[in-house]
Chains A and B, each alone.
Chain A
Amino acid sequence: MSALRLLSSAARRAPSTLAQQRRGYAEVADKISLSLVLPHQAIFTSKDVVQVNVAAATGDMGILANHVPSIEALRPGMIEVIESGNASKKWFASGGFATVHPGNKLTINVVEAAPLESFSSEAVRANLQEALKVAAGNGSEEDKMEARIEADVYEALQHALGSK
C-alpha cells in the first residue's frame, strides 16, 4: 500500500525535473559565471562564459555551466576561456586554484598569468636550458628542486606556445 503511494508521488515529481534539464543544441543556454583574478589584476569579474579549460594538478579539465562544486589545484599551464560560439582566449598561468561554487560560479585565482602572445619563445628556450643545467648540476638539493620546478614551468610554456 505504501509502495503505491510512493510510486504516485514520484510520478508527480518526475515531469518537473525533466523539463528543467531540456537543453537545445543550436545555442548554449547555460553559461557559468567566471572570475579570473590575479593579485594585481582582475581579468574577468563575474563574466558569463560557455566553457573554461584549465590544467588541474589531477589532469586537464573543462568546466561547463552547473558543474559540481569542487576545488582544484592548478599546475602551471594554459587557461582557455570560451565566451560564446567558437572564439576562445588563452592565458598561461603559473598555478593557483580553480573553485566551482554552488550557484554556477567559477573562481580562478592564480599568482601570475599572461596571454600567450606576451611570451617570448626564445626567452623560454634559454630559461629552460639554464634550468636544466642547474637541475642536473651539483648544487644543493633545494637549488636543484627549484630548478626542476622552473624547468617544468618552461616545458609547459613551450607546449602551450607550440600548440597555439
Chain B
Amino acid sequence: MSSATWRNFFTYNKYAQITARAVRQSLKESERVVAEKRGTTALKYQQWENGVGGPQVLLNPEEVKKVGKSAAV
C-alpha cells in the first residue's frame, strides 16, 4: 500500500477489488480464464410502484456479455 493516498478516492472494498483484478490479469493463460469469471459482478434492479414492477434493468450489460454464459465451473 505504498500509494496510501488512495483513501482519498476509494473505499477499502474498491481497493481490494483493484488489487484482485491486477492479480487475476497476471495469471497464466489457462488459469486466467477461470479467474476472470470470478471478477465479474452483474446487478439487475427493478423499480416497484403501487404493487407493479417496472422493467428489470441490467446495470452493466456490456461487461456481462463479454464473459458470456459459461458451463458450470
Contacts and interface: CB of A to CB of B under 8 A. Distances in A.
A127 B19 CA distance: 13
Nearest to B7: A145
A150 B20 CA distance: 9
A112 B28 contact: no
A94 B31 contact: no
B23 A145 contact: no
A93 B6 CA distance: 19
Contacts of B27: 114, 118-120, 123
A154 B29 contact: no
Given A112-B35, A114-B31, A141-B9, A149 B19 contact: yes
Given A119-B28, A120-B28, A141-B9, A57 B23 contact: no
B56 interface: no
A35 B26 CA distance: 25
Interface residues of A, number: 33
A40 interface: yes
Contacts of A150: 18-19, 21-22
Interface residues of B, number: 27
B16 A96 contact: yes
Contacts of B25: 123, 127
B26 A157 contact: yes
Contacts of B24: 112
Given A119-B28, A120-B29, A150-B18, A112 B9 contact: no
Interface of B: 1-3, 5-6, 8-10, 15-29, 31-32, 35, 38
28 contacts: A76-B19, A93-B23, A94-B16, A94-B20, A95-B1, A96-B16, A111-B16, A111-B17, A112-B20, A112-B23, A112-B24, A112-B35, A119-B28, A120-B26, A120-B27, A120-B29, A127-B22, A127-B25, A127-B26, A145-B6, A146-B18, A148-B3, A149-B19, A150-B22, A152-B3, A153-B23, A153-B26, A157-B26
